[in-house]
Amino acid sequence: MKQLGTHLVVDAWQSPAELLNDSERIRCSLIDAITAGGATLIDLCVHQFSPHGVTATATLAESHIAIHTWPELGYFAADLFFCGHGNPHKAVEILETALQAKQIKLTEIKRGFDPGMGVQDTSTKDRNVNSFTEKQALKPRRFRATLC
């Protein structure tokens, strides 16, 4: 397989609720993690939910980091995908320390493809992902966007 990137999936427990509900702490922790991982920040969006919880996404030159918190459970989930240079493991260490997780589960996925396999056309497979008509697909949709 030709590896194109490393994808880390993080589940972390037993973090203090006040840290997981602090959007500024999450923002700073992500910036520190990006720096430690040697990645390049393009954009950062942080959203504070009511009554609690934070979701933050960082678009990187090397891919992305996303984090979702459940303060009431002392839990956060993070997704780090780095391609090219950078070290997502160092970024995870920063998040784990900054959010004081006492327990962490880390799953590493090597992302890429086998050049010998060629590209598969999945459009003819029975996937039933989108079961709406072309006419419905062309209908304008309303999205509620929030500014970061």
CA atoms of 124 and 67, how far apart (whole Å): 34
Long-range contacts of the stretch 27-35 (C-beta < 8 A, 24+): 27/56, 28/98, 29/94, 29/95, 29/98, 29/99, 30/56, 30/58, 30/65, 30/67, 30/95, 32/94, 32/98, 33/65, 33/90, 33/91, 33/92, 33/94, 33/95, 33/98, 34/58, 34/60, 34/65, 34/91
Of 7, 15, 29, 83, which one is the catalytic site residue? 83
Confirm whether 68 is a catalytic residue.
yes
Of 68, 85, 131, 148, which one is the catalytic site residue? 68
Confirm whether 83 is a catalytic residue.
yes
Confirm whether 29 is a catalytic residue.
no
- Contact status, residue 20 vs residue 71, Cβ threshold 8 Å: yes
Of 7, 47, 63, 131, which one is the catalytic site residue? 63
Active-site residue set: 63, 68, 83
